């Protein structure tokens, strides 16, 4: 059962659209607690160990996801605590910029509840 609708990448982008650069830095505020950080690190380390022989995914924590070129940096819109994108190159990124990643959105987004 799929709960997410697959979106087609935008094929015809008008020439007057100006996209921000694709190497935008994450704009996330500091984490709430040390436990919060440890939980994110545990998720990342476990997944990367489990998939250590794979190079077709990206996993990150506390990193901004830029869904749209119109998205403004704002503390009202914060990146998730943890997310995973499948069928993409496993490399270091400063943020996840959807329009620079062939229109790929995260397959999993997880938010950790603070005590």
Q: What is the pLDDT of residue 34?
A: 82
Contact between 82 and 112 (Cβ < 8 Å): yes
Q: CA separation (Å) from 87 to 55, 67, 79, 95, 114?
A: 9, 18, 21, 17, 31
- DSSP letter at 98 equals G
Q: What is the pLDDT of residue 82?
A: 96
pLDDT in tens, 5-60: 666 766 666 777 666 666 666 666 666 778 888 999 999 999 999 999 999 999 99
Of 71, 67, 68, the C-alpha closest to 109 is: 67
Q: What is the pLDDT of residue 84?
A: 98
pLDDT in tens, 62-108: 898 888 777 665 555 668 999 999 999 999 998 898 888 999 999 99
Q: What is the pLDDT of residue 22?
A: 66
């Amino acid at each position: 059962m799929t709960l997410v609708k697959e979106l087609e990448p935008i094929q015809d982008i008008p020439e007057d659209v100006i996209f921000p650069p694709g190497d935008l830095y994450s704009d996330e505020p500091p984490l709430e607690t040390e436990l919060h950080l440890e939980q994110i690190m545990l998720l990342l380390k476990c997944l990367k160990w489990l998939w250590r022989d794979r190079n077709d995914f990206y996993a990150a924590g506390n990193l901004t996801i830029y869904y749209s070129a119109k998205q403004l940096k704002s503390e009202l819109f914060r990146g998730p605590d943890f997310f995973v994108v499948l069928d993409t190159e496993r490399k270091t990124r400063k943020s996840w910029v959807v329009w620079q990643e062939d229109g790929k959105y995260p397959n999993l987004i997880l938010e950790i509840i603070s005590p």
